[in-house]
Every structure is written in structure tokens, then in C-alpha cells.
Amino acid sequence: MPVEESKPVDETVSAVDAELKAKQAAAESEGEEEDDEPTTGDAAGTAASGSGAAAAGKKKKKSKRKKAKELLTGKSGSGSSDRDDTEADLKRAIGGLTPQQLQELMALNPALAGELAAASGGATPSPDKMAEMLKKMNLQDIMTGLAAAGKNAKDMASYKFWQTQPVPRFGEDDKTVEEGPLKIQTVDEVPKEPAPLVAGFEWVEMDLTNDDEIKEVYELLNGHYVEDDEAMFRFNYGPGILKWAMMPPGWAKHYHVGVRATQSRKLVAFISAIPVRVRVRNKVITCSEVNFLCVHKKLRGKRLAPVLIKEITRISNLHEIWQGLYTAGIVLPRPVSTCRYYHRSLNWQKLYECNFVHLPNGSKPQYQIRKYAVPDRTSTKGLREMKPADMEAVVKLMDKYMKRFDIAPEMTVEEATHWFCPTVEAGQDQYIWSYVVEDDEKNITDFFSFYCIESSAINNPKHDVIRVAYLFYYATDVAFKEPFDKAALKSRLNDLIHDALILAKLARFDVFNALSLMDNALFLEQQKFGAGDGQLHYYLFNYRANPIAGGVDKKNQLDEKNLSGVGLVLP
């Protein structure tokens, strides 16, 4: 499930943020070039010209270092005039933001917001105060305050637990590495009993087939799981989608781990996992896909989250699963990929009344309603709802399409049936929508799917929930044309996703969300998706993998040229 409540970002804010990140990327690039330069010249040069080559090497390195330093510090040099112009341009752009836009910019750059808060005595300054402080900061201070990893970057103290775990470290050699497990164990080395909890709490297995127990789980999640930074929206789960997410083929009760208060018997913490097979480039590994880590707000100072992670790891290891897969909206050591959220309004008026979107400067509500209107009917010939009988053809198409990505799921027909065409129990709301396209010979040429998670609109006088559609998996045989025709793929995906938006609107969805993964960069902007303020980081536990493109560039903008290597959507 999504682990980040993301909202659309104003286009002006996105442009300013991209400019800031471009300057930061330029500074980092200068540093990388410096590191690549030899300290004393290469071996051939040294052999040929002795100390003269060594001196040249040192001089070249010093030049690189000097350029990077001047970029950030603005110390005198031939580029100081350019630096002054850059600083003036940035300050002019920041100074032109409205208070709301300035708050969005700070949400995208929490480390910079933290510097401003610290400078103002620890309290978050008002937008006017922020603008005044930014005007007084030089370029070096602004750049230092940027969060390189984006929204929700954690401070280093938060990594104490992860430093004890088999995960890649920040600061390790970033060059290409051999991919594979970081730690090899046997079942005999795994503790047979869970670690003791603090007094007053005890471990339990939650039985999700029991109506009372699954009610406890969704009540805990609905009250204490992910919400946005302003506490305006919180994921709102029902029992149907929770069973869908946590009880696919291969599920087991021992992967549904809870913590109860001993006296009250109240469920105060939960974590779950499901066994999945994932291909990471040319290797297929079995992982525990970890999800729904949730701790009651009143107990978050008791460090229950690391204990829950250790316990789900222990249980997985006892069943000979040694790798883990998880996502987070926060930065942990160390993401294998990072994708950005994008949002497409379907019911703009409702989203505006819920403060999910804002009225752009110079616009009017009726203009936005008209902008995001969609037709009443789909246009793709042969489009129909997916049926269980389609599964073999869907899996065959999906397998071929997913081979184009560096990380992707390996699904059986049984698993695909569960994810795309589950049996919805009587009285439950639909939570997954799946469609195929059939040609004149009844061959399935395309499919797409999306699922629903409602978000509670906290303390909103007009609306209780926002119905949110999340783009799930899709595939099209247009991708297999020889030679590869990127323009044709782009056209076909735009047609399919346009119809997905129409179907989502007919199903009463208010907004359609997608990440920058797979081939999404080919249609997000064309289908009027706006960049969000949230990111989703992908992690592999006990497995070292080289970085995988997340579909955005160093400016955090869509990278249509290179696209993404991520073919994995965690429901």
C-alpha cells in the first residue's frame, strides 16, 4: 500500500524547486568530477614525463575543487559574476512565491525548512518570515539546506537501527557492485522465540479471517497509519482491500504480527508480510514484501517499530526467506530507487473544497473544472472488463512487458487472478478495476488496472472521504514492435490511460494517482497529471543491488528520455 500521503504541487513551485535542485546537482557533479581526477596523473603519464605529469594531475584536481567551491561559496573568481546572477535569479523566483507556494517549497525541501526553523529559534516561521529569511541567505546557505534525497529525509540519528541491519550503507562506494545477498544465514542461526517486549505488552498473531480481528487491524490503521504533513488526510482502509493486500496466494497467519496491551487487550501495533518472487535484473529472489507497519501514536516513543521489523525478519528467516522488499516515504539506508508521485484531478471542485488542490494564480474554479473534465465514454476498440478466463493471456503479456524493467514481479496465473480479478465478498465495496483490450481475433493485446484507497478528509465540513485511484499494472504489445517504436508506445499508452481516467471518473473517483515508474513518463504530463510533493523509495533488505532509475532526473522532473527501470507496484 502507499506509504506516503502526497498532494499536487503548484507548477510555479515545481519550477523553482527544479531550479534549486539543478544548482545542487551541478555542485555535486563538480565534486564527482574532482573525485574522478587522478591525484598524481595516470600511470602512463607518470612513466612518460615523471614529476611534470604528477604536477599536471594535481593542478587539474585543484581546478575542479576550486570550481565546485566557487559555485557554492561565491568566492572571488572568473565565475563570480555568473554566481551573483544565479543567486539573484533564485532569490527573485523564491520572492515571487505566494505564502501557500512557499510552504509547498519547504515541504519539498525539509532540510532547508529545518534550517529556517532553527534560525528562528526552533519554531516554524510564518510564510512572510520565511520569505524574509530566504532573501538574507546567500546561495551557499540555500544549497546547504536542500534535502538531496527529497521530502522526509531523516537525520542521521534515525539510522542507528539500520546500521545494525544487512542493508547498503550511505557513503559506501557508489560504483557498480556485484549484486546479491549481504548476509548468508541458516535456519539454525535464527532465534526460535520472539524478542521480549517492554512490560505491559505482548506479541500476538492476528487472524484476518476473523471479522473482529481484522476490524481491529483496520481501526488501528485508520487512526494511526500514514497521514499528510498537515494532518488533513489519512488513508482509510476497509476489510476487503486489507484482505486483498495481505492474503494473496502463499499468505500465512504467522506473517500478520500484532502487539497488544496486556491489560486492556487493545491492539497497539501491527506489521505484515507476504512472500513474493521478484526479478532484480537477471536474478529472481524470494522476498518478504513488508507492509502496514503501524504503531499507535501514543506509543511511538517506545521504539516499537524496530522491534516489529526484527520480528517480521525473524519469522521470514525461520521460513527460509532471507530477503525483504519494502517502500517508504522517508529516506532510509539505502534506496535502490526513488519514484515521484503524480496526481490527476477528476473531481477538481471536491478536491479544492478539501484543500487537496489549490486554485492557481490568475485562474478561476470553472477553468480548472473544464481543464480536468473527461469524456463520458471510452474510445479504445475492444476494451472490456478483465475476466478470470483471461489470466493466462494476461500473465503472458505482462511477463514479456515486464522484462523491459530492472526490477519486476514474477506472477503465476493464480497470483494474477488474485491481484486483478479477485472475488469480492458480498457486502464489500469494489477495490480493484482491471480491463483488457481484445483484437478482432480475440487476442488480448493490452491491459491496465487501478485500485482504490480512500483517504479520510480530516475535520472537513463538506466531505468525509476522497476516493483515490492508484494506477496498478499495465502492458501493451506495442512495446514489442521491431524495431522498437517509442513514439508508437507513447501514443498507445496515452490512449489506454485516457480511457482509464474515464472509467475511474465513472466509478466516482475524485483523483487518480500514479508514480514515475514503468513507462509512466510517456503519458503523465500529456494526461494532465501534476507533480506531487511525495516520493516513494524502494528498498531491498539483505540484498545489494545497483541503483535503478526511478523515472525522474536530478531536478526531480519526469525523465521521458531514460524512463524508469522500476516495474514493481506494491499494492
pLDDT exceeds cutoff 80 at 212: yes
Q: Give me the phi and psi of 324, to 5 degrees please.
A: -130, 155
pLDDT exceeds cutoff 50 at 61: no
pLDDT at 108: 72
pLDDT 10s digits, 299-348: 988 889 999 999 999 999 999 999 999 999 888 989 999 999 999 999 99
pLDDT at 71: 41
> Which domains can be identified in the chain, with CATH numbers?
95-167 (no CATH), 181-328 (3.40.630.30), 337-544 (3.40.630.30)
pLDDT at 40: 36
Q: CA 101 → CA 11, 108, 125, distances in Å?
A: 9, 11, 15
pLDDT at 150: 44
pLDDT at 19: 73
List, by residue number, the catalytic residues: 571
Burial class (CB in 10 A: 0-12, 13-18, 19+), 473: buried
Find out whether 536 and 377 touch, Cβ atoms under 8 Å.
Answer: no
Per-residue confidence band for 238, with pLDDT thresholds at 50, 70 and 90: confident
Average pLDDT over residues 271-294: 98
Name 277's Cβ contacts closer than 8 Å, sequence gap at least 6. Answer: 284, 285, 286, 287, 409, 410
Per-residue confidence band for 426, with pLDDT thresholds at 50, 70 and 90: confident
Per-residue confidence band for 231, with pLDDT thresholds at 50, 70 and 90: low
pLDDT exceeds cutoff 80 at 56: no
pLDDT exceeds cutoff 60 at 279: yes
**How far out from the chain centre does Cα 360 lie?**
26
Per-residue confidence band for 58, with pLDDT thresholds at 50, 70 and 90: very low
Nearest in space to 111 (alpha carbons), one of 56, 155, 71: 155
pLDDT at 2: 54
Burial class (CB in 10 A: 0-12, 13-18, 19+), 426: exposed
pLDDT exceeds cutoff 80 at 10: no
pLDDT exceeds cutoff 70 at 44: no
* Lowest mean pLDDT segment, chosen from 129-133, 203-207, 340-344, 405-409: 129-133
pLDDT exceeds cutoff 50 at 68: no
pLDDT at 1: 55
pLDDT at 98: 79
pLDDT at 387: 97
Per-residue confidence band for 76, with pLDDT thresholds at 50, 70 and 90: very low
Name 137's Cβ contacts closer than 8 Å, sequence gap at least 6. Answer: 145
pLDDT at 65: 44
Q: What value does the mean pLDDT of the chain take? A: 84
pLDDT at 151: 44
Per-residue confidence band for 147, with pLDDT thresholds at 50, 70 and 90: very low
pLDDT at 227: 62
pLDDT exceeds cutoff 70 at 155: no
CA angle 138, 143, 149 (to 5 degrees): 160
